[in-house]
Amino acid sequence: MLFVPVTLCMLLVVATIKSLHFYTDKTDQQLIYTPFTENTSSVGRRLLNSVLNAVVMIGVIVAMTVLLVFLYKYRCYKVIHGWLILSSLLLLFWFSFMYLSEVLKTYNVAMDYPTAGVLIWNFGAVGMACVHWKGPLALQQAYLIVVSALMALVFVKYLPEWSAWLILALVSVYDLVAVLSPKGPLRMLVETAQERNEPIFPALIYSSAMAWTTGPADGEPGRASDEEAEPSGRAAAAEDDDDEQEERGVKLGLGDFIFYSVLVGKAAAGGGDWNTTAACFVAILIGLCVTLLLLAIFKKALPALPISITFGLICYFATDSLARPFMDDLAAHHFYI
């Protein structure tokens, strides 16, 4: 049941990358999270810079996860709320505005400010209502998918090549550590939420069904979407409450959506070859399958990133360096197998 949203997100990212050149245009502009440039003269220098970039990025992610857990533990719900609302405002309005303008430029369509304003205003406002407040479940899920895709696209555009792959690898390691080790921030987050009998930030997380609890929660559980790509990379099954009937839905963190899509996006942007993209796509879905299987066996929060990303990375590099030249050669010599 998580296959459909993950597939949709990845499809959205790949379709955008293949049709809008904006997201693959070489730009010297980089995020402040990856301060070292990859436009260096020597390969060694480039490698060093990408490693440093990855370290900085992971450092930022670790810091933010720790901060989030800290705030949650000390019940600073208002701060968390504010932070999440600000992030979703940015994503729903600014990034979607950029996306709209790129789509229009690519298809050479004119649009006036009033119409664009109405469109973006509607998209953003309804998004905020659905994700942060109350709205139809399907629409909320759709918005979360779109928001993850937008975030992934930003990463695909602004992360330089080698740094991106290193970051993906390191973030899955971090995810593994953060969720499984006893002092890991994400594990502490899950445990604190379970102790207090609150749903775990229902909107940093995509849930395939609605959980319905009437547990007294101090403050509202924050409902907002993830912007800084926190790898709340855990899949957890909703708990059963004795008094209330609760829908059992599988949940997946938005960070997972984002990083899966970044992997597939980078695969699509890099070679331009469909073999590689399709291979990564399948690898990620298989990884997700395995993760869900493990979830059914262990019945506790598990990191969703490591398995899929590992398979994805292996597939990408294998296909790119081995399968692709092989296929090209076969095709060039009209040799069919």
Partner 1 sequence: MNLERVPNEEKLGLCRKYYLGGFAFLPFLWLVNVVWFFREAFVKPAYTEQLQIKTYVKRSALGLLLWVAVLTTWITIYQHYRAQWGEVGDYISFTIPLGIP
Considering the complex, state which of residue 47 and residue 209 has its C-beta at the smaller distance from partner 1: 209
Q: Is 136 in the site for partner 1 (CB under 8 A)?
A: yes
Tell me the closest approach of the beta carbon of residue 327 to partner 1, in angstroms. 37
Q: DSSP 3-state assignment of 41? A: coil
Does 182 participate in binding partner 1 (rule CB under 8 A)? Answer: no
Choose which of 1, 43, 109, 297 interacts with partner 1 (CB under 8 A).
109
Task: Catalytic residue, from 25, 175, 241, 328: name it.
Answer: 175
The reply on whether position 289 binds partner 1 by CB under 8 A is no
- The secondary structure element, H or E, covering residue 309 is helix 305-318
Q: Is 139 in the site for partner 1 (CB under 8 A)?
A: yes
The DSSP-derived string for 263-332 is HHHHHHHHT--HHHHHHHHHHHHHHHHHHHHHHHHH-S-EESHHHHHHHHHHHHHHIIIIIHHHHHHHHH
Stretch 246-285: interaction string toward partner 1, x if CB under 8 A: -x--------------------------------------
Q: According to CB under 8 A, which one of 4, 86, 125, 331 is a site residue for partner 1?
A: 125
Known active-site residue 256 = yes
Tell me which of 218, 243, 256, 273 is the catalytic residue.
256
Q: Is 173 in the site for partner 1 (CB under 8 A)?
A: no
Catalytic residues: 175, 256
Q: Note the residues at the interface with partner 1 (CB under 8 A).
A: 101, 104-105, 108-116, 118, 121-123, 125-126, 129, 134-137, 139, 210, 212, 247
